[in-house]
């Protein structure tokens, strides 16, 4: 198992950001989702050792995360804050070499940075700053990459391309996407839904395949949702179905959150 958390808690004064959460994430591509204030940012800060939990254990590939070589974990944080004068190609190469393998050329190609590799970070648009920071998390091929809101400030085309890169890379590096919105990732290996510091749902592998639901719209405008018996009853009575649509994974997650 890639990531295992047990009894993980963190409070800021009287505010409980994480409430003794237990969950697991598998190798491959995982998604941690929840609205603002659900505990996602606190979790990322703990994993990156910016802060310590009040209690609980975290294991990455079976090892206490505090005992891991930090070079084996890659992070991209939501804020695009970085030294403005660094040249992105040089910096990618330096970080990759420090982690043990200079894969900067491959990352520059994968994340569409070839035209910008000699530019300084401060001269990039917000969208290309995001691309660079996401690419940087993969420098040197760490064991696992945690991406906090990787789709912020990127347009719909760049978002689609980034998702395609994640699918390509997940066999080489385990990827954990952390977000407050679900952004078109369908073929997941595990999913964690957080709300108010607690786990709403944690699904792995075949459990994700069991997520299902549908919406049937009849000619008179009546809508039947996720009720096969009601659907068949109406069809038998002669009512005409206009369309039947499966729930998207995004809709299912929103239902978990009660939205």
The pLDDT > 90 percentage for the chain reads 53
228 shares a domain with 103 = no
The Cα–Cα gap between 4 and 228 comes to 37
The Cα–Cα gap between 9 and 14 comes to 13
Q: 103-116 b/e with 16+ CB inside 10 Å = b?
A: bbeebbebbbbeeb
- 192-216 pLDDT, tens digit per residue, is 888 889 988 888 988 876 666 677 8
User: Can you give the CATH number for the domain in which 33 is found?
Assistant: 3.40.50.300
Number of structural domains (the chain) is: 2
The Cα–Cα gap between 26 and 37 comes to 24
CB of 61 closer than 8 Å to CB of 131 = no
Q: What are phi and psi of 55, to 5 degrees?
A: -160, 165
243 shares a domain with 115 = no
95 shares a domain with 197 = yes
> What per-residue confidence (pLDDT) applies to 212?
63
221 shares a domain with 202 = no
> Tokens at residue 98, please?
């420090």
- 217-256 pLDDT, tens digit per residue, is 888 888 887 776 776 677 678 888 787 666 666 676 666 6
233 shares a domain with 205 = no
CB atoms within 10 A of CB 41: 18
Beta strands in the chain (DSSP E): 3-12, 15-25, 29-33, 55-60, 63-64, 73-76, 144-148, 174-179, 190-195, 198-204, 214-218, 223-225, 241-246
- 54-83 pLDDT, tens digit per residue, is 999 999 999 998 998 888 999 999 888 889
Range of the domain at 112: 3-209
Name the band, by pLDDT with cuts 50, 70 and 90, for residue 188.
Answer: confident
Identify the CA nearest to 39 among candidates 194, 251, 207, 231: 194
């Amino acid at each position: 198992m890639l990531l295992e958390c047990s009894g993980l808690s963190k409070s800021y004064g009287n505010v409980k950001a994480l409430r003794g959460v237990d969950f697991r994430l598998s190798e491959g591509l995982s998604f941690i989702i929840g609205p603002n204030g659900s505990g996602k940012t606190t979790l990322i800060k703990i994993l990156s050792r910016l802060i310590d939990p009040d209690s609980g254990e975290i294991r990455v590939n079976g090892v206490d995360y505090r005992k891991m070589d930090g070079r084996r974990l890659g992070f991209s944080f939501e804020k695009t804050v970085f030294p403005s004068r660094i040249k992105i190609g040089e910096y990618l190469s330096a970080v990759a070499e420090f982690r043990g393998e200079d894969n900067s050329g491959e990352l520059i190609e994968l994340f569409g940075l070839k035209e910008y590799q000699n530019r300084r970070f401060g001269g990039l648009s917000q969208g290309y700053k995001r691309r660079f920071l996401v690419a940087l998390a993969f420098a040197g091929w760490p064991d696992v990459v945690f991406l906090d809101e990787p789709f912020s400030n990127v347009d719909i085309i760049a978002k689609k391309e980034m998702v395609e890169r994640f699918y390509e890379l997940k066999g080489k590096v385990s990827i954990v996407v952390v977000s407050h919105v679900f952004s078109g990732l369908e073929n997941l290996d595990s999913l964690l839904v957080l709300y108010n510091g607690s786990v709403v749902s944690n699904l792995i592998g075949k459990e994700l395949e069991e997520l299902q639901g549908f919406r049937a719209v009849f000619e008179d405008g009546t809508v039947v949702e996720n009720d096969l018996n009601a659907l068949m009853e109406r069809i038998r009575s002669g009512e005409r179905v206009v369309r039947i649509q499966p729930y998207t994974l995004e809709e299912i997650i929103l239902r978990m959150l009660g939205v």
